[in-house]
Amino acid sequence: MNLGPARVERTATCGVLSFPAEVDLSNGEAILGQSERLLAAGVPALILDLTACAFCDSSGLNVILRSQARASELGIPMWVVLPHRGIVRRVSDVAGLPRRVAIAPDVATAREALAVPAR
């Protein structure tokens, strides 16, 4: 069981925050803090990668929505990588997450979307 913080990768084009296998009340605030630090550091874009996340309760959804709100305030584009199947996808769909944030099936797709200038 991986309830630790998220893994952070920072490049010249974006910051990627890869969620651990499980996100709940025990680690949600720490992951949100990681996201907020990336945004405060001025990353040009943010990707929240839930590929390896097998369980995500409302704490994880809170991280995503609060990160999106902050990224929007700062004018920083954000994508959430969410596989097509699995419990995390089902919870996200029921919560209406795809209507509120940009969703990609994998990190490569999110990176490609960020490379295309907004019109």
Q: Specify whether the CB–CB gap between 10 and 44 falls below 8 A.
A: no
CA distance 20 to 3: 6
**Angle between the N-to-C axes of helices 58-74 and 28-40, in degrees from 0 to 180, rounded to the nearest 10:** 10
Locate 6 and state its tokens. Answer: 């998220």
Helices (H), the chain: 28-40, 58-74, 87-94, 107-115
Phi/psi at 29 (5° precision): -65, -35
Whether pLDDT at 35 is above 90: yes
The answer to whether the predicted template modeling score (pTM) of the entire model surpasses 0.85 is yes
Confidence grade of residue 22 (pLDDT, cut at 50, 70, 90): very high
The pair of three-digit structure tokens given for residue 109, joined into one six-digit string: 């797709």
Q: Is the pLDDT of residue 38 over 60?
A: yes
